[in-house]
Amino acid sequence: MSQDFKQAALDYHEFPRPGKISVELSTLAETSRDLALAYSPGVAEPVREIAKDPDAVYRYTAKGNLVAVISNGSAILGLGNLGPLASKPVMEGKALLFKRFADIDSIDIEVDAESPQAFIDTVARIAETFGGINLEDIKAPECFEIERALIERCKIPVFHDDQHGTAIVTAAGMINALELAGKKLEEAQIVCLGAGAAASACMKLLINMGAKVENIFMLDRKGVIHSGREDLTPEKAAFATETDKRTLEDAVTDADVFVGLSGPDLLSPENLLKMADNPIVFACANPDPEIKPDLAHKTRSDVIMATGRSDYPNQVNNVLGFPFIFRGALDVRATAINEEMKEAAVKALADLAKEPVTSEVLEAYGLQELSFGREYILPKATDSRLLGVISSAVAQAAIDTGVARLPMPANYPL
């Protein structure tokens, strides 16, 4: 990052006033009557209605369009455990994206908790305020325990975006990349470098959609996760295979897919050369990928390449998923975001990449043309159709699986 860009980032967050979000009034508050209706004595009327019927809270308050973005700051971006206060710019940024892309009101909450259980208790006690909870930047393995407990305790959708948002966008891109490579998910040999929250969620979702667990080789800092290891967490043990592969070099030999959720420059050109024909490389470490696209293409002319960066084609970016997934879930008042809803989002996102690209997208990216292919396997973030197709797919899946409390809204598709 250049010094100019670093200063621009600081200025962006400081001016014209500190931060990226604010609270605005949604109704009139100008006259004495307005104030009497907004607060005492008028506010007593919705209070009485909600006391009689808890669902009335959705009629008389902002709950139904309000998502909390909550973190303990234990895994901030690629920066590590810097604490809850340092996570606030990221959480505000997430709230900005909710509003910008799906018109969802969002507030960031940074929790200074001494243990996972304290974090769980804190979030569970405030959950009634919100229509949904987006967990963010929580380290593994405690993030698994936290999400599981909150899903059980809360009556609203709880979604750890670092896990499932990453998985949904990765799976959508993977389906399209495999199609272009002439390969099938159920037959593909997949290497996953990294064994944290995002990696586990990505592989679980791919398995749910047809990948074979015996064809997946996951690696942590100690090498391939295999059935002979005795140092595995339950999350890692789910991917332990009977294999004599031990190193990354072993794993990538003849592999069809490499998914990197680890660190910079960890996939060497020599290892890329060992992969099968038409290799698919998702090098998603940010800001520096496991292998840079220009080096990958120089090494293999047949590689299909994706990264987490916006300055290269095929960006794997959670903003393609979470705003629209929550939009669909909120609009049918879903009690959870289940596997079927995630899979519906994957398919909707993958299918949209095959549609003709609109002029708004071309203009936003300064392009003359763009179409489904090796350098366009995922829609661009500025594609306004994302809101309609993903929210509708997620809402319908919620209805079909019985977690929706409302029918499909009359104004759908958005």
Binding-site residues for (S)-malate, in ranges, read 286, 317
> Residues marked as binding?
136-137, 162, 286, 317
What SS3 class is residue 401? coil
192 backbone dihedrals φ, ψ, rounded to 5°: -120, 110
Positions marked catalytic: 39, 94
> Residue 43 gets which letter from DSSP?
T
Tokens of 191: 């290497």
Q: What are the structure tokens assigned to 10, written together? A: 């600081």
Contacts (Cβ under 8 Å, ≥6 apart) of 39: none
Token code pair at residue 131: 């229509």
Three-point CA angle 101, 171, 67, nearest 5°: 35
Is residue 70 within 8 Å of 92, Cβ to Cβ?
no
Q: Which of 278, 273, 259, 121 is nearest to 196 (CA)?
A: 259
At 110, which helix (H) or strand (E)?
A: strand 105-110
| Sign of the Cα pseudo-torsion (309, 92, 171, 259, in order) | positive
* CB atoms closer than 10 angstroms to residue 338: 18
> Does residue 413 have a cis bond before it (omega within 30 degrees)?
yes
The answer to whether the beta carbons of residues 245 and 225 sit under 8 Å apart is no
Which residue ranges make up the annotated binding site for a divalent metal cation?
Answer: 136-137, 162
Question: Pairing relation of β-strands 216-220 and 223-224?
Answer: antiparallel
